[in-house]
Amino acid sequence: MQSLENTLADITDEKAMEAFLIDLCTPAERRALTERWIVAQLLIQGELSYREINAKTGVSTTTIGRVARFLKDEPYGGYRLALTKTDNKITKDVS
């Protein structure tokens, strides 16, 4: 049986990934994942405060703080790795 991580890594087509996530996640889960990804991209740009991100996106400051903690302090590096693989190059440390 293949792990979820390997399955996600094997999907290279955007439409196929979207279909898989629609089947896998509830609408609320997909929305939460999308919000966290948007917050990570905004935080890494380093131009907006948590309150400004909240005003722009409607995402709670608690969630923004959690994403920031994972960007800055947690050892996993998942957000940073994903950001380096996209157009959102890491430009500034998150404070």
Phi, psi for residue 43 in degrees, rounded to 5: -65, -40
Give yes or no for residue 21 having a pLDDT over 80.
yes
Encode pLDDT of 37-48 as tens digits. Answer: 999 999 999 999
DSSP state of 48: S
Q: Average pLDDT of 10-27?
A: 96
d(CA 31, CA 38): 10
| Residue reference for tokens 């990570």 | 40
Domain segments of the chain: what residues? 27-84
Q: Average pLDDT of 74-95?
A: 74
Integer angstrom CA distances of residue 36 from 14, 64, 69: 19, 8, 12
Q: Average pLDDT of 53-70?
A: 96
Question: Confidence class of residue 2 from pLDDT cuts 50, 70 and 90?
Answer: confident
Question: Confidence class of residue 1 from pLDDT cuts 50, 70 and 90?
Answer: confident
